[in-house]
Amino acid sequence: MDKKLQGILDILDKLNSSSNIVKKEDLEEQYENLEDFRMLTNDLDSLLKNFGSMDINNGDEVERILFELHRIITTFEWHFSEISDLNTTILKVYKNKINNV
């Protein structure tokens, strides 16, 4: 998934390079965030891999896992939201900007 997000950022960066709708720093920040996204994906992979050894009758352990899942899910949402915001910003302006309206 991180490669797909990078592909999206590449598209936005290309469109923005000719239109300067968003700050270059905002795009660069999202490229930097891809490493955090990769680490988060690894965290999820590890959690899923270890789920089979979890004692589902241990309430503390189940709660810890569910909180970790919540952290991972909400952080994924944040990453997608940040990229979506850039996309929306470019979407709202790009057509008029290239048509000089």
Predicted structure pTM score: 0.88
- Alpha-carbon distance of 101 to 51, in angstroms, equals 55
Place of tokens 């970790």: 68
- pLDDT score of 100: 81
Mean pLDDT of the chain: 95
Averaged pLDDT, 88-101: 90
Higher pLDDT, 98 or 57: 57
Asked if 19 contacts 97 with a C-beta cutoff of 8 angstroms, the reply is: yes
Residue 101 has pLDDT above 70, yes or no: no
Considering only CA atoms, which of 98, 88, 92, 86 is closest in space to residue 28? 86
Residue pLDDT, tens place only, 65-83: 999 999 999 999 999 999 9
Would you call 99 helix, strand, or coil by DSSP?
coil
Which two tokens mark 48? 């899923």
Rounded CA gap, 1 and 37, in Å? 9
Check whether 93 has a pLDDT greater than 70: yes
